[in-house]
Structures are given as C-alpha cells and as structure tokens.
C-alpha cells in the first residue's frame, strides 16, 4: 500500500476552504442517501389487554366501553377503520349482549359502519340513562355502617360521578352517610373546602382514630370481674349446740370436745354449765306419743266381754241326775 501524498492532502484542504458550498452539498447528498437506504423502525403495538367479555350488565356498561376505547386507541394499526373497531367490540360480547349485536352485524345495519352510532345505540340498550333518579336515591340511602371510610368513599365516588349533583349537595350527602363518631370529628370543618378534600380529610381522621384505639386498647378494656371467694366453713363456736351426728370435724376432735365437756361438767349438747344434756333447754324435745292417744287407740279396739255378760250369754248348764240304784 502506497503512503498518502502530503501534497495531495494539502491541495484537497485548500479546495475545501475555497469552495465550502460544494462540500456541504456533497455531505448532504451522502446523508440523504444513507437515510433512504436505512429502513424505518417498525411500529410496536402497546401491550393493552383485551377487556373481559360483557354479558349485558347495566352496572358494567361504562367500564366495558372504557376498556374497549383504551385498546382501540393504543393499537390503531390493528383497527384502521370504524368497522374494524365495531367488530372488535362485538367480539368481546357474550350472552344477551351478543344476541343483541348478532342481527346488527349479519343484516349490515348502518350502526356497524360508524363507531359513534354503534356506541350511542349500545348505551341506549345497556347503559344507565342520563339523569336517572335511582342513582340519587342510592346516594341518599348510602351509609358507612360496618365499612371503612375508604370503602365508603369509593362507593360514594362511583355513584356521585353519575349523579350529576353539584358539589355542595354531594358534600352534605357524604357527611350524613358517615358514622356518628367520624361525623363528630368533622363538625368543625366547613363544606367550602371541596368534596375531594373533605373525603381525604375524613379518611385521615378515621385512620388516626383507629391508631389511637389500637394504641390504648389495653386501657379501654373493662375491668375484670372480682373472683368469688370460696366459702370457708368456720367451726362452730363453743356456745352453740354440738351436732354430734352431722358435724364436719374429724372424729378425734369430736372425742376431745366430748371429754372436755365431761371433765368440766358441761352439757354435752350445748356446752354450757349448770345442767346436763337431759335437762338442756336448747335441745329439741323428743316426740313421745301421749298417753291419751294410746288409750284412745285401745278404746277403739273391740271390747272385751265381761264375766256377767258371758255368763248370761252362755247356755244353761245341765245338772247331772243321780241314777237310782
């Protein structure tokens, strides 16, 4: 390979300095030729999932159409015209919704060639009509109850977006739907702060209240009920009658108490001095049947016949006769 000629390089540098326009045009031509030769980058579709099949539920209508519009907008190269977009929506129908769209497509209804006409007809059949009074009634009846403030606010926002009410009416209705404890803590705040700020404020208040309850949970527990003391039977005092038959004291204790009372000439029943058990005034009297009752019982028995009555009732005795010999 021959070495570059320094004279030629110098001549070329002088030529570029004296004629810059030719150099610029040549470089521009080379750049355009490179751009024409290089291929354009391919269009990559956005990864948007297809919406779930729609079966005709009124509550799912707006959500289904929103998911369909996202898929059509993010993948325009797949659905170039309105008919292709309508076909995509019909492909995601099932049940009674699919039975409704079937004659429109097979009979080449004008709505299948215009996306706006098809969506308007679709909302008329499956959507909620504008100004529906049932939404307002549901808003008025909505209460927090056992729900958290976040879940209650989510349901309220869903209904409020379709109600068409002004912000002042929505704030008043939201305040009335909260539990009394939350409503009491929000009583100092005016409605002029706006619906969204008022909802966020209620969520923060409920979160702080829950944290305080968890922190002082042990202190708020009711006091434990006092334990019932077991009944302890005390031994009978010395001045009370001694129950020798049903006493709970051990046998040896009973014998000792008996010996003590005998040694001190005390009553074996009540333990007092001055009398014995036979004359004890506190000892219940034994039930002895009365003599009159015994006699009465004997009187009711069969009478014993007397000797006179037996003699009178007996037949006369025959006197023996002597034989004459």
Instruction: Tell me the pTM.
Output: 0.42
* Residue 249 CB partners (closer than 8 Å, separation 6+): 235, 257
**Same domain as 113, residue 68:** yes
302 is a domain residue: no
**Same domain as 138, residue 109:** no
260 is a domain residue: yes
Instruction: Using DSSP, state whether 204 is helix, strand or coil.
Output: helix
- Say what the pLDDT of residue 115 is: 93
- Say what the pLDDT of residue 299 is: 47
How far is residue 269's CA from residue 286's CA, in Å, rounded to a whole number?
14
**Same domain as 141, residue 76:** no
Scanning the chain, the segments in alpha helix (DSSP H) are 6-18, 20-37, 61-74, 82-91, 95-106, 115-126, 133-141, 149-163, 167-177, 180-185, 195-215, 251-263, 291-299, 307-313
221 is a domain residue: no
**Same domain as 211, residue 165:** yes
- Say what the pLDDT of residue 158 is: 86
**Same domain as 202, residue 147:** yes
**Same domain as 160, residue 98:** no
**Same domain as 79, residue 147:** no
64 is a domain residue: yes
Q: For each of the chain's 325 residues, which pLDDT tens digit applies?
A: 455 565 666 667 666 666 655 555 555 554 554 444 445 545 455 677 889 999 988 888 988 999 999 999 998 898 999 999 999 999 999 999 999 999 999 998 999 999 999 999 998 899 876 555 678 888 899 999 999 999 999 999 988 887 888 999 999 999 999 999 999 999 888 888 899 999 999 999 999 988 888 887 766 555 555 555 555 455 555 445 555 455 454 688 888 888 888 888 888 888 888 787 888 888 887 765 555 544 454 544 445 455 444 444 555 555 555 544 4
157 is a domain residue: yes
**Same domain as 180, residue 160:** yes
Range of the domain at 181: 133-215
The residue among 94, 96, 72, 98 whose CA lies nearest residue 83 is: 72
**Same domain as 176, residue 114:** no
176 is a domain residue: yes
**Same domain as 208, residue 188:** yes
Q: Into how many domains does the chain fold?
A: 3
- Say what the pLDDT of residue 171 is: 92
Domain end position, chosen among 75, 108, 126: 126
The CATH number that applies at residue 145 is: 1.10.1200
Domain end position, chosen among 215, 250, 270: 215
How far is residue 155's CA from residue 201's CA, in Å, rounded to a whole number?
17
6 is a domain residue: no
Domain end position, chosen among 126, 142, 166: 126
**Same domain as 113, residue 180:** no
39 is a domain residue: no
The number of residues making up the chain comes to 325
**Same domain as 138, residue 105:** no
């Amino acid at each position: 390979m021959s070495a570059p000629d320094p004279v030629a390089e110098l001549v070329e540098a002088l030529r570029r300095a004296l004629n810059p326009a030719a150099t610029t045009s040549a470089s521009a031509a080379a750049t355009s030729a490179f751009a024409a030769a290089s291929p354009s980058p391919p269009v990559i579709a956005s990864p948007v999932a297809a919406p779930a099949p729609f079966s005709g539920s009124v509550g799912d209508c707006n959500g289904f159409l929103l998911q369909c519009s996202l898929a059509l907008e993010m993948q325009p190269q797949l659905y170039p015209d309105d008919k292709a977009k309508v076909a995509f929506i019909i492909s995601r129908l099932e049940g009674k919704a699919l039975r409704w769209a079937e004659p429109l497509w097979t009979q080449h209804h004008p709505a299948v060639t215009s996306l706006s006409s098809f969506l308007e007809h679709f909302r008329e059949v499956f959507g909620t009509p504008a100004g529906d009074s049932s939404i307002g009634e549901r808003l008025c009846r909505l209460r927090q109850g056992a729900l958290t403030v976040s879940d209650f606010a989510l349901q309220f926002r869903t209904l409020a977006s379709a109600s068409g009410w002004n912000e002042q009416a929505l704030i008043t209705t939201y305040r009335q739907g909260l539990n009394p404890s939350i409503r009491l803590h929000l009583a100092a705040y005016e409605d002029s702060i706006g619906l969204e700020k008022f909802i966020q404020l209620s969520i923060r208040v409920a979160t702080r209240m829950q944290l305080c309850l968890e922190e002082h949970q042990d202190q708020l527990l009711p006091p434990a009920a006092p334990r019932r003391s077991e009944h302890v039977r005390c031994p009978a005092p010395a001045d009370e009658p001694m129950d020798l038959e049903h006493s709970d004291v051990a046998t040896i204790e009973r014998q000792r108490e008996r010996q003590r009372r005998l040694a001190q000439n005390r009553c074996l029943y009540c333990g007092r001095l001055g009398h014995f058990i036979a004359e004890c005034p506190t000892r219940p009297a034994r039930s002895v049947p009365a003599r009159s009752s015994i006699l009465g019982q004997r009187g009711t028995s069969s009478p014993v016949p007397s000797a006179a009555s037996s003699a009178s009732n007996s037949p006369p005795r025959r006197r023996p006769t002597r034989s004459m010999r």
